[in-house]
Amino acid sequence: MRLGPLSTKKGETALRKGYKKRNSFRKASRKERRKRQAEKAREVQLVLDPEEVVAMLQDSLTDFATEMGLKVARLLLDDEVNQRCGFRYERVPERTVTRYGRQRGVVVIAGQKLPVERPRVRYTQRCGEAEPE
């Protein structure tokens, strides 16, 4: 006799997965989540691909410094927005500013004007755009 996929042997159930009870794990409190988030917000990490770094160094040192300056500028802009508004898609009821898209901007590095995407931030209660600090 051949058993089908949902048929059972004597004393077994049709479900194979062992389910856990609800509330078997504790959800982090709001205070703990804020503390972890504040620690993460202060860390700024520049992730670089080693092959990309070597390729930039081979071109020239000036180009390398310019590219590094652009990466750092983008990183600092995004970090400031994360500190002021919270992380993306996060609900923060007491925030005073909110994300409002991106806008083309210019950064001067090594005497060159270079294009960069600048994040926009607006006030939640008042009208108008919040300036970067």
Mapping DSSP to helix (H, G, I), strand (E, B) and coil, where does residue 29 land? coil
With cut-offs at 50, 70 and 90, classify the pLDDT of residue 102: very high
99 falls within a domain: yes
Nearest to 121 by CA among 88, 75, 72, 73: 88
> Range of 116's domain?
31-123
What is the value of pTM for the model shown?
Answer: 0.54
Q: Which two tokens stand for residue 83?
A: 């500190």
The token duo for 101 is 């898209």
Cα(79)–Cα(87) distance, rounded to whole angstroms? 9
pLDDT in tens, 46-68: 788 888 888 777 777 878 888 88
Domain annotation covers residue 111: yes
- Residue 40 inside a domain? The answer is yes
Total domains present in the chain: 1
Q: Tokens 């410094």 map to which residue?
A: 65
pLDDT tens sequence across 103-120: 999 989 888 899 999 999
The answer to whether position 12 is within a domain reads: no
Radius of gyration of the chain from its Cα atoms, rounded to whole angstroms: 25
